[in-house]
């Protein structure tokens, strides 16, 4: 095979590889949106950042494979790689991502529960005492309010 054909085949396969990486990035983006459920403005910003990231991947791979020379088959390769990933590999990998994120969230929640356990125990012990202290703190202000009320009543009787 001629060297230019080998080089072009290498570039085409590299662009398919870039499409696969872009599909993987899309799966990661999909799973983060699934768990975090962002609002509309945040979704717009995330979409913008996602497409900027995909364009960086695209141009990095093109720059490394053929010195940023754009050809039609490069775009076809990227779309083909993304299509292959989304139709074949995503069905296998997405459930693994879901399990991985679920496991990470479970571990993080257990760590936070373990760290906050002493603080919750202290709060439960101190809570009745704090309520008593708050009631005792209210006594002077309630007494002053009663004095003012009786003062108005007495001053109106004259």
Is residue 61 within 8 Å of residue 40, measured between CB atoms?
no
pTM score above 0.75: no
Residue whose pair of structure tokens reads 């990227």 in the numeric block: 78
How far CA 68 is from CA of 6, 60, 77, 79, in Å, comes to: 17, 8, 15, 17
pLDDT score, position 53? 93
pLDDT score, position 2? 62
pLDDT by 10s per residue, the chain, length 158? 567 888 889 889 999 999 999 999 999 999 988 888 889 999 999 999 999 999 998 999 888 888 877 888 889 999 999 999 999 999 999 999 899 999 999 999 999 999 988 888 887 887 887 877 877 887 788 878 888 887 777 777 65
């Amino acid at each position: 095979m001629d060297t230019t054909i080998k080089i072009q085949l290498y570039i085409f396969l590299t662009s398919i590889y870039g499409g696969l990486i872009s599909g993987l990035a899309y799966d990661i983006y999909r799973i983060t949106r699934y768990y975090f459920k962002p609002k509309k403005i945040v979704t717009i910003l995330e979409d913008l950042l996602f497409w900027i990231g995909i364009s960086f991947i695209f141009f990095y791979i093109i720059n490394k494979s053929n010195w940023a020379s754009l050809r039609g088959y490069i775009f076809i390769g990227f779309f083909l790689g993304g299509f292959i990933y989304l139709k074949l590999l995503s069905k296998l990998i997405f459930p693994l991502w879901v399990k991985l994120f679920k496991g990470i969230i479970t571990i993080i929640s257990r760590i936070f529960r373990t760290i906050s356990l002493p603080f919750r125990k202290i709060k439960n012990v101190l809570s009745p005492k704090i309520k008593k202290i708050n009631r005792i703190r209210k006594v002077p202000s309630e007494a002053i309010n009663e004095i003012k009320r009786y003062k108005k009543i007495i001053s109106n009787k004259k």
